[in-house]
Chains A and B, each alone.
Chain A
Amino acid sequence: MSQSLEIGIAVVLILAILVLIFRIQALVSVMRGSYRKRAGLSNKVNAILFVVFALVGFGTFFWFSFGTEYHLPVSSSEHGIHTDFMFWLTMAILVIAFVITHIFMISFIYKYQFDENRKAYFYPENHKLEFVWTIIPAIVMVVLVYYGYRTWNDIFKMAPADRMEIEVMGQQFNWLVRYPGADGKLGSHSYKKISPDNQFGLILEDQTGWDDFAPREIHIPKGKPVLLRIRARDVLHSVYLPHFRVKMDAVPGMPTTFWFTPIQTTAEKREELGNPNFNFELACAELCGRGHFSMRYILVVDEPENYKKWVAEQKAWAEVNREYVVKTIKPEYKDKLPEIKVATPDAPTVAPADTTTPKATALNIK
């Protein structure tokens, strides 16, 4: 208690001293009549401070930008290479504009400080100049729009036919992931079927879902396009794979998609970064409540052979939950239930005409 009293007294004293300094300063300026001058010493001091600020500021900016490793490692997806290139290209242009405009502004500030004996130059307009500096940014914008437009359309064009598909579902506060299994088809689902035993809300009677499996980590093979079928079952979430430059919201009632091609395995990334514990991570990028900051899921990129091996080890969801399935499924389907098989890696990864998975996606992968 006495300590906080001391702190309190110290603060009061310091404030009193500051007020005193302020008063003396104000009185001195009244005595000197310096406020009657249009611009005094302060004008010069401020102009100089602007120059100092600019020099130190730019120095720090460049030192930090080029001297330290602050951004994410090179993109591990194909499209990410393009968006990163575009980002840095744009950034280069922006930094040039930033530096040039500030150099002009700061040098004017320094050079044209008030001088009683000079008169400012009456210069209300110059159409040529204005035209030029309207056109230059316009041209730069056209170039940027052109690149941006092409890159964007490349990213959102139809996913290639040899893609594989994975369902990613967000819920408060974790991710659930489902693979289509040997038939390459995700079983259909309805939010009304969701229960603690049936987290995906699978419609058990749909046979395409019988071989679906739900692993604890996402595994994908290097070099193969992956289409994420994204949904949410409570509030908005957003699938965010920072190392792959992937982000797409998960929207309840409106399935979305995003496809990308991994070009680096986890092992390769570990080697590149010299960090044997490195893992690709899936995070949530749309505020979804109290646990938003904790929605972590691991994603592993394997060499294709290893991926096949991994798939072979996975047990179908219906097999893991056999007891529940048998209990819940409509009686007429019970006899049809096969020994639910382990997924076979050689089967086609995507079914030709996909009718059971949600169609109403707003992202037209057509």
Chain B
Amino acid sequence: MSSTDIHLHQHTAHGHAHDEHHELPWIRKYVFSEDHKIIAKQYLFTGIFWALIGGAFSLIFRLQLGFPGANLSWLKPVLHGWIDNGGKLDPDFYLALVTMHGTIMVFFVLTAGLSGTFSNFLIPLQVGARDMASGFLNMLSYWFFFISSVIMLWSLFISTGPAAGGWTVYPPLSALPQALLGSGAGMTMWLVSMALFIVALLLGGINYITTVINLRTYGMTFTRLPLTIWAFFLTAIIGLLSFPVLFSASLLLIFDRSFGTSFFLSDIWIDGAPLAHEGGSPVLFQHLFWFLGHPEVYIVLIPALGITSEIIATNSRKPIFGYKAMIVSMLAITFLSFIVWAHHMFVTGMNPFLGSIFMILTLIIAVPSAVKAFNYITTMWRGNLIFTPAMMFSIGLVSFFISGGLTGIVLGNSAADIQLHDTYFVVAHFHLVMGSASFFGMLAGVYHWFPKMFGRMMDEKLGYVHFWCTFVGIYFVFFPLHYIGLAGFPRRYYQFTNFDAFQTFGDLNMFVSIAAIFTFAAQMLFLFNFFWSIFKGRVAPANPWRSNTLEWTTPLHPEHGNWPGEIPHVYRWPYDYSKPGAAEDFIPQHIPYSQTPSSNLPGEKDPD
């Protein structure tokens, strides 16, 4: 502890000197900024931008699925040649939309947009640090993400269209331009973009980890870290261990595509000619992809769970139930997330013995997940619940986490998965547990930390309307997809009219599409509220939610360096809400025990 201590003081002194001497030029302050708070906002704005594009794409393909054969010529001004003269959407472009939708949502919105925003914003503020361990690397991280975004965006406009082989980009389809229109230049851009994205993510992740380990303020032990920080910390570790595997897979795929190697290709005859590739295995790619891909769903989910823990505790005015159990479950999930990947591959032809092993490991992960859900609910028991918009979205998250997580248990069962794999049942499952839950975590985080980000409050009433429209809308969209999946409908189908078996459910598909349009439209309420409040919102009080964590001890508009004076010290865990004997229903972390004699439990005293 003492060595950290010295380091911290040095850092503080340095921070002061730095701040006093020179005012930074505008471009260094707001564009190429090294301030974690600015970088967080850059991630947030970019994430919102991508969410709109990804969401809009889902609407276009939902139109195709809900109203097959409808005349879509009115989209011609936007989509040009991808709508034919009869007003029909091009099947290649349908696949491109699905692929880009998945890629954008998973990587750009819920990885960069969520972790990038909240890890950046909250880690220094909540552990009591002036900034990230390396502001420069942090800046670099955002700009790598930015370039990656530009490339992906650009790929939407090239004549052969963007990558279209699904967000999982399985070769040989993604490797052979002659197999799919999107596997030409679009796929090359996808791979380059993802490689840069991974660099961005690793630079960010290294920073998050270093900051949490080294820059905690005096007294901020690991067992006093808010669960948000635990979540971001573990997420960064998962990312650090799993993303390089996707990097290698992408690299090998680039080799197969451009340099004639055969890592993933073998025995292929296409376009009137056999290919020279021999000895590769497409299944190998799937192993590599899912070695990242499954941890990735937790990279997306765990930060949202961390945010929810914080918000539910604060707004229940109660300590989070089972703080240690929450940490242990997150640790367990982190570990297990690395050894379940092949549950995505039960019917790929891999050895069935592997199938049974991965079924067992997958079902184990249900246990820590269940513990987390129980703990959220118990936190609300006998609480004093304040339904702020952030709290509402957190409750929504718990609901999605349960309804979507449960169906994972049946999908993890390899025998049942034979039928369910690659049907809409899977689409329903992962949209609830990963898509919607994480999306709600992100929205909850924005509503909760908006006052700290912009010094103003968002409008509550509008927040409620936004919540109810979105919550109901999402269940309307994704719950019916379970039934469609049980009826056997395969995913990534341009239309279902070719099969007798998939003739039913035209009406339900239409309903889903209408609900999707409604849900998307409801997000405009959020956008309006967000941008309006940045400029016109009511000025926020210092600690609007009466929260215990350190970020609320900073000034309303914290400068680079966060605290004008010394960094506050920490004396207690972050969940002293409604402590018996205390005057208020919260005791922030920086209040020493010596100031709260009436509420101290046996053994609680300040260190000498």
What residues of chain A have their CB less than 8 Å away from a CB belonging to chain B?
19, 22, 25-26, 29-30, 35, 38-39, 42-43, 45-47, 49-50, 53, 57, 61, 64, 70-72, 80, 82-84, 86-87, 90-91, 94, 97-98, 101-102, 104-105, 108-109, 112-115, 118-126, 129-130, 133-134, 137-138, 141, 144-145, 148-149, 151-153, 155-156, 172, 191-192, 194, 196, 201, 230, 233-236, 238, 240, 242-243, 245-249, 251-254, 256, 277-279, 281, 283-294, 296, 361-364
A residues less than 8 Å from B382 (CB atoms): 112, 120-121, 123
Expressed in whole angstroms, the Cα–Cα distance for A363 and B370 within the complex equals 34
CB distance from B47 to the nearest CB of A (A): 25
CB distance from B426 to the nearest CB of A (A): 11
Q: Give the interface centre of B176, B384, B528 by most chain A CB atoms within 10 Å.
A: B384
Could you list some 20 contacts between A and B, CB below 8 A? Answer: A50-B395, A53-B472, A101-B377, A104-B381, A105-B398, A112-B382, A113-B385, A119-B578, A145-B360, A152-B359, A191-B268, A196-B272, A242-B488, A242-B501, A252-B265, A254-B266, A254-B281, A278-B500, A281-B500, A296-B499
- Assess whether B384 is in contact with A120, with CB atoms less than 8 Å apart: yes
CB within 8 Å of A: which B257-295 residues = 265-270, 272, 274, 278-283
Q: Give the interface centre of B374, B416, B471 by most chain A CB atoms within 10 Å.
A: B416
Q: A64-B483, A149-B360, A281-B500 given as contacts; is B383 within 8 A of A108 (CB)? A: yes
CB distance from B331 to the nearest CB of A (A): 14
A residues less than 8 Å from B92 (CB atoms): 290
CB within 8 Å of A: which B493-548 residues = 493-496, 498-501, 504-505, 528, 538
- Assess whether B475 is in contact with A293, with CB atoms less than 8 Å apart: no
CB distance from B74 to the nearest CB of A (A): 10
Task: Give the top 3 A-B pairs by smallest Cβ distance, nearest first.
Answer: A253-B266, A256-B349, A242-B488
Expressed in whole angstroms, the Cα–Cα distance for A295 and B122 within the complex equals 50
Expressed in whole angstroms, the Cα–Cα distance for A153 and B500 within the complex equals 32
Expressed in whole angstroms, the Cα–Cα distance for A208 and B556 within the complex equals 83
Expressed in whole angstroms, the Cα–Cα distance for A123 and B398 within the complex equals 20
B residues less than 8 Å from A45 (CB atoms): 464
- Assess whether B351 is in contact with A364, with CB atoms less than 8 Å apart: yes
- Assess whether B410 is in contact with A94, with CB atoms less than 8 Å apart: yes
- Assess whether A138 is in contact with B367, with CB atoms less than 8 Å apart: yes
- Assess whether A364 is in contact with B352, with CB atoms less than 8 Å apart: yes
A residues less than 8 Å from B176 (CB atoms): 234-235
B490 at the interface (CB under 8 A from A): yes
- Assess whether A72 is in contact with B486, with CB atoms less than 8 Å apart: yes
- Assess whether B387 is in contact with A125, with CB atoms less than 8 Å apart: no
CB distance from B450 to the nearest CB of A (A): 14
- Assess whether A253 is in contact with B538, with CB atoms less than 8 Å apart: no
B91 at the interface (CB under 8 A from A): yes
Expressed in whole angstroms, the Cα–Cα distance for A26 and B320 within the complex equals 33
- Assess whether B364 is in contact with A141, with CB atoms less than 8 Å apart: yes
Q: A120-B585, A287-B165 given as contacts; is B462 within 8 A of A253 (CB)? A: no
B residues less than 8 Å from A364 (CB atoms): 351-353
Expressed in whole angstroms, the Cα–Cα distance for A24 and B240 within the complex equals 49
- Assess whether B352 is in contact with A249, with CB atoms less than 8 Å apart: no
Of chain A, the residue at the smallest CB distance from B345 is: A249
CB distance from A218 to the nearest CB of B (A): 15
Taking a contact as CB atoms closer than 8 A, the residue among B410, B486, B495 that contacts A71 in the complex is: B486
B473 at the interface (CB under 8 A from A): no
Taking a contact as CB atoms closer than 8 A, the residue among A70, A121, A141, A289 that contacts B367 in the complex is: A141
- Assess whether B462 is in contact with A22, with CB atoms less than 8 Å apart: yes
A residues less than 8 Å from B538 (CB atoms): 30, 35
Expressed in whole angstroms, the Cα–Cα distance for A155 and B416 within the complex equals 11
Binary flags per residue of B419-430, CB closer than 8 Å to A gives 1, else 0: 111110000000
- Assess whether B475 is in contact with A125, with CB atoms less than 8 Å apart: no
Taking a contact as CB atoms closer than 8 A, the residue among A38, A153, A242, A293 that contacts B419 in the complex is: A242
- Assess whether A112 is in contact with B380, with CB atoms less than 8 Å apart: yes
Taking a contact as CB atoms closer than 8 A, the residue among B91, B413, B422 that contacts A293 in the complex is: B91
- Assess whether B414 is in contact with A125, with CB atoms less than 8 Å apart: no
Taking a contact as CB atoms closer than 8 A, the residue among A70, A130, A278 that contacts B371 in the complex is: A130
CB distance from B401 to the nearest CB of A (A): 10
B residues less than 8 Å from A283 (CB atoms): 490, 499, 501
Expressed in whole angstroms, the Cα–Cα distance for A294 and B493 within the complex equals 9
Of chain A, the residue at the smallest CB distance from B524 is: A15
Taking a contact as CB atoms closer than 8 A, the residue among A194, A287, A296 that contacts B173 in the complex is: A287
Taking a contact as CB atoms closer than 8 A, the residue among A104, A137, A238 that contacts B366 in the complex is: A137
A residues less than 8 Å from B322 (CB atoms): 124-126, 130
CB within 8 Å of A: which B546-572 residues = none
